[in-house]
Amino acid sequence: MHYPNGKKLSVDAKKKPLPNPTIYSNRGMTLEEDINETNDYYRDTGKAIIHKKPTPVQIVQVDYPRRSAAVIKEAYFKQASTTDYNGVYKGRYVDFEAKETKNKTSFPLNNFHEHQMKHMESIIDHGGICFVIIRFSTLQATYFYPADSLLKHWKNSMNGGRKSISLESMKKEGYIIPIQYHVKVDYLHIIDMYYSTNGGNNNG
Amino acid sequence: MHYPNGKKLSVDAKKKPLPNPTIYSNRGMTLEEDINETNDYYRDTGKAIIHKKPTPVQIVQVDYPRRSAAVIKEAYFKQASTTDYNGVYKGRYVDFEAKETKNKTSFPLNNFHEHQMKHMESIIDHGGICFVIIRFSTLQATYFYPADSLLKHWKNSMNGGRKSISLESMKKEGYIIPIQYHVKVDYLHIIDMYYSTNGGNNNG
């Protein structure tokens, strides 16, 4: 995200507390930027309408200078209670979250908050298409990972199981998203495939 | 919306420029509060998952005090490029905007921005359920108004036609939403009715 002063917002500002020092979501040509480009491409070519939700901000103080726009003078980043992206594809509701890790062997589950997991579970219950896009930046590998698989691992971790998803599980339960020039993260392609072969998340 | 200092944010702060002095969206027990309550009820009773999107904010300056959360010191309210509410109902994508007017005889079309109208048109094209909820607060009447009807009036106004939707058109093309105790603005009820009788916005 670029702001008017040319500075990029650091991860620390966006996510608090920072769950894991090896997680980045806003640095360089990030996964977020790639997804935004992809969504623009989908929109321009009439494939789907997917938007990133605005960053949730708790506003504390607003000034109203005469003759000019209201200025927010004090505000804080809030933890998101839902996921970052949603929209419509072929009439269906699509909902997902994107995360990047520098880890090489597993993806830590503490990247997700409990209310985000509950949200994803609700979306599946209501027949929505729900997944996460996970990039292992060091491995230059980006996965489409169905929310039902994520929920399975997360529930297991809540019951004392493993606190991360191994790269092996990711390869087995997820789908690699090839990086292309125009469509950096072509997840619709995987949705078509996953939902025709699998009958949707509901049948997990 | 309540903020930590107990103050409510005035309309002027949220929407700039204010399109019409008779439009309110955040005062008293507003339409927004009624819809939020309704959405909570829908969520709690497993009927649908609909959320209000966070207010879009352009962040200019962020301070990082040691040992505490990042503080946004300068930010501005941005004009929304989409609608305020979206989510999933029976697997389908639902997208809507809510507006309140004190007018008694018509609803002014300048309450909607061009990019919002384009967004709604796209949602219809992609098979989503798209509508607006319009409250005539003085008349204590709340309407479910399909986006295709709104687009028709809006395009007509762009070609020199009438700049508002008359109450007569609203009554003819819209559906009154009865105010109930638990479900203040029961729009799902109208969706069920409208989409079964009408075959959806696409055939509108």
Which pLDDT score, from 0 to 100, does residue A109 have? 97
Model confidence at B15: pLDDT above 60: no
Q: A59 vs B1, which has greater pLDDT?
A: A59
Which pLDDT score, from 0 to 100, does residue B49 have? 98
Which pLDDT score, from 0 to 100, does residue A183 have? 86
Q: B202 vs A61, which has greater pLDDT?
A: A61
Which pLDDT score, from 0 to 100, does residue B180 have? 80
Model confidence at B44: pLDDT above 50: yes
Using CB atoms within 10 Å of the CB of residue B181, give its burial: 0 to 12 exposed, 13 to 18 middle, 19+ buried.
exposed
Cβ–Cβ contact A59 with B under 8 A: yes
For the segment B124-168, what is each residue's pLDDT rounded down to a tens digit?
999 999 999 999 999 999 999 999 999 999 999 999 999 999 999
Q: How does the average pLDDT of chain B come out, rounded?
A: 85
Annotated binding site of A for Mg(2+): 82, 84, 97, 116
Which pLDDT score, from 0 to 100, does residue B65 have? 85
Cβ–Cβ contact B193 with A under 8 A: no
Residue B142 marked ligand-binding: no
Residue B148 marked ligand-binding: no
Q: B89 vs A3, which has greater pLDDT?
A: B89
Look up the ipTM and state it: 0.80
Which chain B residues touch A127 with a CB distance below 8 Å? 88, 90-92
The DSSP string of chain B is -B-TTSPBPPHHHHSSS-S-TTB-SSSSS-HHHHHHHHHHHHHHTTS-EEEEPPPPEEEEEEE--TTS--EEEEEEEPPPSS-SEEEEETTEEEEEEEEEE--SSEEEGGGS-HHHHHHHHHHHHTT-EEEEEEEETTTTEEEEEEHHHHHHHHHHHHTT--SEEEHHHHHHHSEE----SS-TT-HHHHHHHHHHHS--GGG-
Which pLDDT score, from 0 to 100, does residue B60 have? 95
Average pLDDT (B80-104) is 95
pLDDT < 70: residue spans in chain A: 1-28, 196-204
Instruction: Give the domains, in start order, of chain B with CATH numbers.
Output: 11-203 (3.40.1350.10)
